[in-house]
Structure 1
Amino acid sequence: MKLNFKKYLMLTAMAVAFTACEDFLDKVPISQSTVGNAYKTASDAEAALIGAYDTFQQEYYIWDNIIFSDVISDNHYAGGDNPEVFAAEDLTLTPTNGRLFTNWSQLYNGIAKANVVLAKVPAITDPKLDIGGRREQILGEASFLRAYHYYQLVTLWGGVPLITSPVSSTEPAEVQLPRSSVEQVYAQIIADLEYAAAHLPDTYGADASVNKARATKGAANAMLAKVHAQKPDRDYNEVLEYCNAVITSPAGYTLLTDFTHLFDGNHYNNAESILEIQFTGAPEANFGPQLLLPPSISGDSWRKFITPSHNLVDAYDTEGDDVRKDATILFEQAPWSDEFWSVAVNGNVPFAYKWKSANGWASTNRQYILRLADIILLKAEALNELDRLEEARTEIDFVRDRVGLTPTPATNKTQMQLAIENERRLELAQEGQRWNDLKRYNRAVAVMNSLNEIDLRTGSAKVYNMNADKQLLPIPQSERNRNPNLGQNDGYGN
């Protein structure tokens, strides 16, 4: 299995990788790319934009974002047999972990493609590009994409090199840039999102498969809400403003009445979805479900990745949340030994289940990039932080009522903070949100060090040795070798 899996990922990466810098990838930092292509027509602009969206179908957005949010947190164990994923679970990541460089490079390649669009499209003279304001829409979409990728980078690594135009040289002075500060990166993200919100439509028409596939004003406002909540100098008045802009959008976002419809594979591009990756099957397919789903669904018998933790299962059970638990976790006998659930082969083991169909590495199951429940719970958080407790209660109870839960019993601000954090966990497990939530609530260290996860092979509790430094990932050593000006995050050596 290992050989086939690695070969598959290699072929996938090759198929979707950005090729504009392939001639000198071994010479310059992956965060840089040169572009010599000619862009003359409206069709050229659209093609470049499509290429920019393709980053959402690369490995980071398929499942590594789950590894570095859910597996690294209290939501999931690594599962599988990959030492690099075990390191994420164990909080023992090092700069030489290959997944770090893969993710860094894919995110920067996405930024490079957005930069091409933003640099080239304004100069195209084809009049077709200005019909219906399409030029401004394209620039808005590219701005959103650049901001979204930078948001991933800054939350994973902190300050990173800030590249906002295509690179025209491979000279060290131009490509070996130092890291910008966290504040500078967030300022660029906000500027890009504000531009996007001002230039994108609420919808592109009546076709949901278009409106949920492209960045819209609603997507930009949703990200502005998340960014203002996550940045170091957070502003909950801004968070509330942008959450309300999404909730009242003319796009008509609404919670689905049935939570299970979000993940059953039959209701994508729904009213709750703000933006989702449009996997339609080979060659535009999602290989992730094959890695996670049990043998009865995947059709193979090797050990699967991203196993729900006892702590996550207990969180659902404590809340009596059967609806979201059953939509998120599937228990099944596993033909392997699991160190946390069953050391005996064929024991009962939980599987990550928000994807439901593997289809031989070519699933059409999707990840939501943004959906309304996330924004409603973020609004509840903002209201609570602004000391508007009862209004916060209304929002969290709106989400709880959807899955048949009683109103939250929180009676003060501190209790409500914990209630909202827990609600987000139950609602958004396996959606790449948990680690940012724990960091935002300043609870990552306390939560990880209080876990009581027992390794059944030894009978001893797993020790995470979490500290503040581990909230950020180490800068990939491969990239530091290319760019000596990067430095390293605290706690990972020089």
Structure 2
Amino acid sequence: MKNFRILLFVAVASLFAACDDAIDIKQPSELLPEDTFETVKDLTLGLNGVYGVIPGENHIIFTSIFTDEVRLGIANGGQGRDGELAFALNNNSGDAASIWLSNYSLVNFANRLLVGAKNVTPTEDELSSYNDIVAQARALRAYGHFQLLTFFSPDMKNDNGLGVIALDFVPTKEQKLPRNTNGEVFALINSDLDFAAQNLVTKTAQNKGSLRTYVSTDFVKALKVRMAIYRGQYNAAEADVDALIAAYPLTRKFYGNATSVNAGSADDLLAKSGYFRLFRDALITGANNNNEVIFKLERAASASTTTGNFYQAWSSVNSKTTGGAFFEVSTALYNNLLPTDIRRATIIDPTAFPAFNVRPVGKYAESEKTPLLADVKIFRASEMVLLKAEILANRSDFPGVANAINAIRAARFGDASGNIAIPGNIQAAWAAILDERRLELAFEGHRYVDIKRLGALAGKTVDRTPSDCNFNNACSLEVTDYRWTLPVPRPEQAANPNIQQNPGYNNQ
């Protein structure tokens, strides 16, 4: 059974906020890491806790509303109008605080496990399991640090640039830590990933069905690829990205022996489309029916609720046209989704077909018969293909860029009818990659970072149709704007006088 926990950010805020006198008192029942973890079995339970706090939903929801993935929904009651849809972002923004605190919560949980592990002496028979637990915790700590850099570093390509606080220890409340440089944080991340690659028990892409929700060496490779490309270190990523593309073939449009599907029927899509099944977390089996997920976060509704982890993110009841959509798929995104592209029936709920007057977000519609529930896909093979396209664009291999993009489009269209032409110049190549990432990775939390990374190269930024933004005239945001980096949240600033704010937010 999947294990979904609601993140309680307040519980971890004590890492970064001043403590009251009552909190300063050491309670008789207080358990420190060295007391909590005494055996390898204890570490196993602790590792489950680390997995339980990996964030995923918050940056997906923020990205979708702040950029150009949504428009006002039929049931919108004011949500987002003066906030994300207006490009409102400052050090009081809940989005920035949520992403900051949730990723430091992950780092904190991992560090507490690692501190506890130092006090456990495994037997010879337990040594492999012990090293594997430590390796998984370090890989997840690396992921948390990288997510923080992704959203809070103004320029990840500059090793001397402003990074985040690198934590390979459990800080005390007295410590007021400054931000490290990007290079220093990446050094910690690489150390963690190198250790993980050497000590993980799960080292291959075989038997992938049991590996997708746990850290494996494929997780490590995928994180290293994404990190290298974001840093502009294209040559460093190629071997790993090629290995992952070979190990995880793209999921096909059609499932089993199907050759057609009714895009207006969720039942028919679930029976006949592999890609649709992937986002309903349905089992994908049989020859040539590939599950391209490399790593995902398992989510399940708790016993006390009938809704899932995306409840009230975009809709209040369910993802159907009658489900109370606060936000709908934007007009510009809809216009770029062709009728024969299976992504249209996945991104937009099938109940919108055929008129599409109301376009609820359908990518997280249902899992395990629970509405608005879905596993959070962190790494997929299609992202690896698009990262390979960036490697090819960097060396001006325009036919290679087209081939990479068309491999994805052929899998989504079921044939070559959606293929793009070879880009004619370097800006067109970057634009083709950014455009394809917009379609393939919609509502997966990439668009904000993608515009920041690739917008200037592609000559593109936020793309909102005037009809979607005429209510507040917030139709575009220059790619050079400071708001493409999140601000350090005010609670961190209030508790930590040594923290440096990001440019543009200094007067807040």
Coarse TM-score class (shorter-chain normalised): 0.7 to 0.9
In the alignment, the residues of structure 1 paired with residue 463 and residue 301 of structure 2 have an alpha-carbon distance, to the nearest angstrom, of: 42
In the alignment, the residues of structure 1 paired with residue 369 and residue 320 of structure 2 have an alpha-carbon distance, to the nearest angstrom, of: 7
Q: Which has the higher mean CA deviation after the structures are superposed, 466-475 or 382-391?
A: 382-391
In the alignment, the residues of structure 2 paired with residue 439 and residue 311 of structure 1 have an alpha-carbon distance, to the nearest angstrom, of: 19
User: What is residue 403 of structure 1 aligned with on the other side?
Assistant: 412
User: What is residue 294 of structure 2 aligned with on the other side?
Assistant: 274
Alignment partner of 1:349 is 2:369: no
Matches within 5 A, 1:21-420: 26-27=18-19, 35=33, 37-56=35-54, 60-62=55-57, 64-77=58-71, 80-81=76-77, 86-127=82-123, 130-131=126-127, 133-158=128-153, 159-167=163-171, 169-171=172-174, 175-202=175-202, 208=208, 210-231=210-231, 234-248=232-246, 252-258=247-253, 259-267=275-283, 271-282=291-302, 286-289=308-311, 291-293=313-315, 297=319, 302-305=324-327, 307-317=328-338, 322-330=341-349, 348-357=357-366, 364-404=373-413, 405-414=417-426, 415-420=428-433
Q: Which amino acid aligns with 1:162?
A: A
What TM-score do you get using the length of structure 1 for normalisation?
0.80
In the alignment, the residues of structure 2 paired with residue 452 and residue 186 of structure 1 have an alpha-carbon distance, to the nearest angstrom, of: 38
RMSD value, Cα: 3.5
What TM-score do you get using the length of structure 2 for normalisation?
0.78
Structure 1 residue 315, shift from structure 2 partner: 1.9
User: What is residue 492 of structure 2 aligned with on the other side?
Assistant: 479
Distance 1:243 1:445, change over 3 A: closer
Structure 1 residue 329, shift from structure 2 partner: 1.1
Q: Which amino acid aligns with 2:191?
A: A
Structure 1 residue 82, shift from structure 2 partner: 6.3
Asked if 1 retains the 8 angstrom alpha-carbon contact of 2:319 and 2:325, the reply is no
| 1:370 counterpart SS class | strand
| 2:336 counterpart SS class | helix
Structure 1 residue 392, shift from structure 2 partner: 3.2
Point out where structure 2 has 5 or more consecutive residues left out of the alignment.
21-30, 154-162, 254-274
In the alignment, the residues of structure 1 paired with residue 223 and residue 281 of structure 2 have an alpha-carbon distance, to the nearest angstrom, of: 25
In the alignment, the residues of structure 1 paired with residue 321 and residue 412 of structure 2 have an alpha-carbon distance, to the nearest angstrom, of: 31
* CA deviation vs aligned residue, 1:48-79 (integer Å, no higher than 9, x gap): 111111113xxx512x2113333222222475
* CA deviation vs aligned residue, 1:377-410 (integer Å, no higher than 9, x gap): 1112212212333333332221111122443202
Asked if 1 retains the 8 angstrom alpha-carbon contact of 2:329 and 2:359, the reply is yes
Asked if 2 retains the 8 angstrom alpha-carbon contact of 1:218 and 1:245, the reply is no
Q: Which amino acid aligns with 1:265?
A: D
Structure 1 residue 213, shift from structure 2 partner: 1.0
In the alignment, the residues of structure 2 paired with residue 26 and residue 359 of structure 1 have an alpha-carbon distance, to the nearest angstrom, of: 42
Point out where structure 1 has 5 or more consecutive residues left out of the alignment.
1-10, 334-345
Equivalent in 455, 469, 475 of residue 482 of structure 2: 469
In the alignment, the residues of structure 1 paired with residue 371 and residue 469 of structure 2 have an alpha-carbon distance, to the nearest angstrom, of: 35
Structure 1 residue 241, shift from structure 2 partner: 2.0
- Which is helix-richer, 1 or 2? 1
Structure 1 residue 465, shift from structure 2 partner: 4.5
Q: Which amino acid aligns with 1:390?
A: P
In the alignment, the residues of structure 2 paired with residue 477 and residue 276 of structure 1 have an alpha-carbon distance, to the nearest angstrom, of: 31
Structure 1 residue 480, shift from structure 2 partner: 0.6
Structure 1 residue 136, shift from structure 2 partner: 2.1
Asked if 1 retains the 8 angstrom alpha-carbon contact of 2:17 and 2:494, the reply is no
Structure 1 residue 235, shift from structure 2 partner: 1.1
In the alignment, the residues of structure 2 paired with residue 400 and residue 456 of structure 1 have an alpha-carbon distance, to the nearest angstrom, of: 30
Structure 1 residue 411, shift from structure 2 partner: 3.7
Structure 1 residue 126, shift from structure 2 partner: 2.8
In the alignment, the residues of structure 2 paired with residue 359 and residue 321 of structure 1 have an alpha-carbon distance, to the nearest angstrom, of: 27
In the alignment, the residues of structure 2 paired with residue 442 and residue 348 of structure 1 have an alpha-carbon distance, to the nearest angstrom, of: 30
Asked if 2 retains the 8 angstrom alpha-carbon contact of 1:453 and 1:462, the reply is no
Q: Which has the higher mean CA deviation after the structures are superposed, 289-298 or 188-197?
A: 289-298
Distance 1:18 1:254, change over 3 A: farther
Distance 1:205 1:304, change over 3 A: same
| 2:183 counterpart SS class | helix
In the alignment, the residues of structure 1 paired with residue 356 and residue 373 of structure 2 have an alpha-carbon distance, to the nearest angstrom, of: 29
* CA deviation vs aligned residue, 1:461-486 (integer Å, no higher than 9, x gap): 43445343111011111111011111
| 2:357 counterpart SS class | strand
Structure 1 residue 189, shift from structure 2 partner: 2.2
User: What is residue 506 of structure 2 aligned with on the other side?
Assistant: 493
